[in-house]
Structure formats: structure tokens, C-alpha cells
Structure 1
Amino acid sequence: MSGTGEHLKDEGTKTQVVIAGATAGLIARFVIAPLDVVKIRLQLQTHSLTKPPSPGALTTSPKYRGTVSTLKQIFREEGITGLWKGNIPAELMYVSYSAIQFTAYRSITLALQKTVGENKLPSAVESFIAGASAGAVATTATYPLDLLRTRFAAQGTEKIYSSLLSSIQDIAKHEGPRGFFQGLGAGIGQIIPYMGIFFATYESLRLPMGTLHLPFGSGDASAGVIASIIAKTSVFPLDLIRKRLQVQGPTRAKYFHKAIPAYKGVSRTMQHIVREEGVRGLYRGLTVSLVKAAPASAVTMWTYERVLRALLKLESNSSVVL
């Protein structure tokens, strides 16, 4: 990476961007996997946060309470591997998603500059359009893996799917191709503003924060953390709705929480949650989500910048030798 203040999106070849993005996604996913499992478990609980409990009502009996206690309970009941449930499809998703996202972001930005003219659009507007479009493309392409990740993470002590292959075969047989895309509307509705806000904020903060003396030698990680927190909080209700829709189907009553209601459609799911759980129900798991988002984004952006820098240096050294 040069010190001339060039944007992340203008640096590196397509191959270098793919390698850097995939590596960043792989490492970040493994680091935050346990928190991701906790987030999904909390998001799928449907007890009311506003109404007094009714004796004997399944929806008012939460299994998990809080991040730390949930981590301990999963570890106690399911072992250390329980904290990494769904990690195989998640790793595949993160590697693919990151590579597609960064590649699309770079390509769309360059296309905008070619169509509209370089420096014609404000940097924040350009980053928002490129980020939102790249996020939508990556989300759609990797959505089946996201759904599988959620279903594996939602499995308690009762095993529903024995392997990744068996889960694909089961969904294809009993739910058809549409079964792999349940909740995609919420995913697209979430990712467009999320990625737009994230990249616009990140690009605005990265260079100014790079002049500060921060941990890890630059402001990349800190800018990623701030951008992620702002973006994640803004769209969190859609993330929760996506998770609720992803576990719909013939296996709905077999997950750790047996009383997940039957939902259909984004707006009706939102109305049902607000009616039965209150507005706070839309933000169930937000705390652990923010705790997860900070290290995930920091690791992703920090790793991406440094892998790309290493690849550019390697290319430069190879050119000198030749």
C-alpha cells in the first residue's frame, strides 16, 4: 500500500483483492465463531421482553440469558465443539463472501468512476453505492451457506443434520430450491444499508485515523470497529428477522428452542415480533452482536490491508528480480 492516500478500492489486481479478501474472511470467521453461535441462540428465543410471563407458556421460558452465561451453558451441555457449530458452512460463506464483496466493491467503484468520471461523485456517495451493491451481490451468492450456518448453530443437543452434505440433501428433498433462500428478502434489505453505511464510514475514517498512533500500527482496525458498530445497530432488526425466517420449514420445532413461531414474510414477521415480544424483541442479541462485530471487522479490515500490502510487495520484489 502506498503512502499517497489512495483508496483501498483502487489498489491491487483482481486476483490480489480476491486473495486478501478471502484470507481476511477466513481468519475473522474462526475468531468470532463462538460469539456468532451465542448471537443466533439469543435471536431465536421468542419469550416476551415486555409482557409478564404466563404460567406454562413455552414462549416465556428463555433458555439463555446474557452472553457469558450462554457461552458457559453451551460449553457445559454441548462441549467445546458446540461453540463452533455451523463453522464449516460459515467458513465457506465468509471466504466466498469476503472475496466476492471486495472484488465487486472494487469493480463497481471503478465502473462508477469510468461512467460518471473520476472524482465527480463525493467519496462518501461513491463508497455507499459501491458498498451497498457489493453487499447485495455477495449476500445473494452466498445465502444458502448463511442459512445452513444458522440451522447448524441453532441445533441444541438434538442433532437434526449429521453433516453438511446431509443438510443440503435434506433441504433440497423436503423444501426444494426455495428452502435455501428463506429470508433472503431480509438479508438483502439488511445488507444494502449495512454495507453502504459501513464502507462510507470506513473510507471516511481510515485515512484520518491512519495518522494517529493507535494499536497495531494504523487506524485500519479502529476505523473498521467504529464503522461496523454504527452500521450493525442501524439494521439489526432485519438481521434478527432473517434468522427467524431461516429456521422455518419442517425442522422448525426441532431446534434448541421448540417454540419458534411460524413466520412468513419480512413485514409480517416484524409485526408478529413487536406484538408478541415488544419493540425490544427486534434487538434481541444486539449486545453480543456488537461485541462480535467489533473484533470481526477489525480482524477483517486489518488482515485485508496487510495481506494486500504483502502481495503488492511480493509483486514488486518479483518485478525487481526479473
Structure 2
Amino acid sequence: TRRAEFHSTGLSGSVSRIAKTEGLLGFYRGNGASVARIIPYAGLHYMSYEEYRRWILQAFPNVWKGPTLDLMAGSLSGGTAVLFTYPLDLIRTKLAYQVVSPTKLNVSRMVNNEQVYRGIRDCLSKTYKEGGIRGLYRGVAPTLFGIFPYAGLKFYFYEEMKRHVPDDYKKSIMAKLTCGSVAGLLGQTFTYPLEVVRRQMQVQKLVASEEAELKGTMRSMVFIAQKQGWKTLFSGLSINYIKVVPSAAIGFTVYDTMKSCLRVPSRDEEN
């Protein structure tokens, strides 16, 4: 969802363009907001998953069992984490979207009549002044539509695959990494079009365009498919795998390892 000159250039072409226009720092644009977001996001995500799982078991002890329980608890925990950290995700996207060469900045920090954000606080302040609380949650609907199935499927696939791991390998780091990798890959594949819709809704204010404003998740998805082609809904999926697959693998592995270190009761010991 970056500028038009980055479209259809592929992974190697995009890497080359960013390196030429922004240098090494261009690859880390928006990383500060990303780090500021991921810490509370991950904490809330895994903590609320365990809590939702416990609450569901207490409310429906004879109904919600097995994979369905992981799917439901994972979906709810993903939505909870998103609602609490979404403004930082929006700021991260806006900062990363800026493709700016220092030589193109003028005195008022404008580039081709587009405002340049100077950091997390500056972007947060200007976004709030422009749209208030609603502005900080622009694009949250497709994010929730995407995170519910993604988080749910991610936990579902992970726990389901772990059930089929032989007992001798259940504590193996490699087994956990493998299960986490496959869970992240499958979850991301099924829900990626919603990720594209979310990104385009987040940054559309930064783009001078005569096209109609994107409103509504499903309408936006249909609009993008009609105007830009259905392949656009999967644009960037391959490079997203490079980020999401190891991230999910490491996240689940650390999550399970920390549970063991903290002596959290096994999920087989349900209350």
C-alpha cells in the first residue's frame, strides 16, 4: 500500500527503491511505533487468551472443548489486544508509508503537499487533531474483521498440531517452532485480503486521489478488487510470510516456554 512508484516492482525492486530513496533508515521507518505497540499487544494477546479460555470453560463446561475452544478464545483475545493498541498500529503504518528523501523536505516539512510526520508523538498529535478519537481508530473495522479469524485460526492450528506431536517431542523447541510457523502461515494466508483493506483505509488520507473514499470492509474489498484487480488483495503476501511466520513461531515458543518456567498448570489440567 505504499506509493504508486512502489507498486508492481516486486520484493527486490521495492528493496532497491527504498535503499536509493531513503537509505538504510528507510527499512526501519515506523519501527519505533511498532516496538511500542508489540509489547502491550503481545502481552494482552496471550494473557487474555488464557483468561477467555478459562471463562469459556467455566461458563460452558460441557460444550466448549477441544479446537473450538482455542478458536473462540484466540479470536476474542486478538480483538481485545487490537482495541487497546490500535492507535499505535495506525501511527506505525502512517510513519512507514512516508517515502521521503531528506533533500525533498522544505522548511514547513511538506513533500509534494503531503505532511511529513516527525515521529510517534507528532503523528499521534496531528492524527488526533484531524479526526479526534475516530481518527485514531480509522480502519479498525477491517482490522477486527481480520484479527478475529486470524488470531482464532492461529491458536486453533497451533494447539491442534501440538495434539498430534508424539509425547517424546512435546517439549521440543523445534516441534513448537514448527507448529507455530505453520499456524502463522495458514492463519495469515486465509485472512490477508483483510490486511490489505486495512492498510489502504489507514493511509488513504495521505494519498491525493480522485477515487471514492473507502468505507466499509466488504465494500472496500470489492472496490479494490474491481479497480486494482483481485491480485492486489494478496499483494505483499510473500514478504509478509517472511515477517509473520518466524514471528508466530517465536511468539508461541516463548509463550509455551515461559508458561513452563512460571509453572503455569497444563491446559490438560482444566478447572
How many residue pairs end up in the alignment? 251
Task: Tell me the TM-score normalized by structure 1.
Answer: 0.71
Task: Tell me the TM-score normalized by structure 2.
Answer: 0.84
* Deviation by residue 1:255-298 (Cα, 9 ceiling, x = unmatched): xxx88873222233212211112211111111111222111111
* Distance in 2, Cα, partners of 1:268 & 1:44: 21
**Contact 2:6/2:17 (CA < 8 Å) preserved in 1?**
no
Corresponding position: 1:274 with 2:225: yes
Cα distance, 1:63 vs structure 2: 4.8
**Contact 1:44/1:243 (CA < 8 Å) preserved in 2?**
no
Which residues of structure 2 form unaligned runs of 5+?
101-110, 265-271
* Distance in 2, Cα, partners of 1:92 & 1:209: 35
Structure 1 stretches of 4+ with a deviation exceeding 6 A read 258-261
**Contact 1:209/1:223 (CA < 8 Å) preserved in 2?**
no
Greater shift after overlay, 204-213 or 274-283?
204-213
For 2:207, the equivalent position in structure 1 comes to 252
Cα distance, 1:85 vs structure 2: 0.9
For 2:86, the equivalent position in structure 1 comes to 143
* Distance in 2, Cα, partners of 1:217 & 1:102: 19
Please, which of 51, 55, 62 is the counterpart of residue 111 of structure 1? Answer: 55
Identity of paired residues, percent? 24
**Contact 1:74/1:83 (CA < 8 Å) preserved in 2?**
yes
Kindly report which structure 2 residues correspond to 1:1-322, keeping only aligned pairs within 5 A, or say none. Answer: 43-44=1-2, 62-63=6-7, 65-117=9-61, 120-157=63-100, 158=111, 160-209=116-165, 211=167, 217-249=173-205, 251-253=206-208, 262-312=213-263
Q: Aligned pair in 2 of structure 1 residues 229, 259: CA closer, same or farther (>3 Å)?
A: farther
**Contact 1:182/1:248 (CA < 8 Å) preserved in 2?**
no
* Distance in 1, Cα, partners of 2:232 & 2:13: 19
Cα distance, 1:213 vs structure 2: 6.3
For 2:105, the equivalent position in structure 1 comes to none
SS of 1:122 mapped into structure 2: coil
For 1:29, the equivalent position in structure 2 comes to none
Cα distance, 1:73 vs structure 2: 2.4
* Distance in 1, Cα, partners of 2:227 & 2:56: 45
* Deviation by residue 1:49-94 (Cα, 9 ceiling, x = unmatched): xxxxxxxxxx6x5556222332232123212211111111111211
* Distance in 1, Cα, partners of 2:90 & 2:166: 37
**Contact 2:6/2:14 (CA < 8 Å) preserved in 1?**
no
**Contact 1:86/1:152 (CA < 8 Å) preserved in 2?**
yes
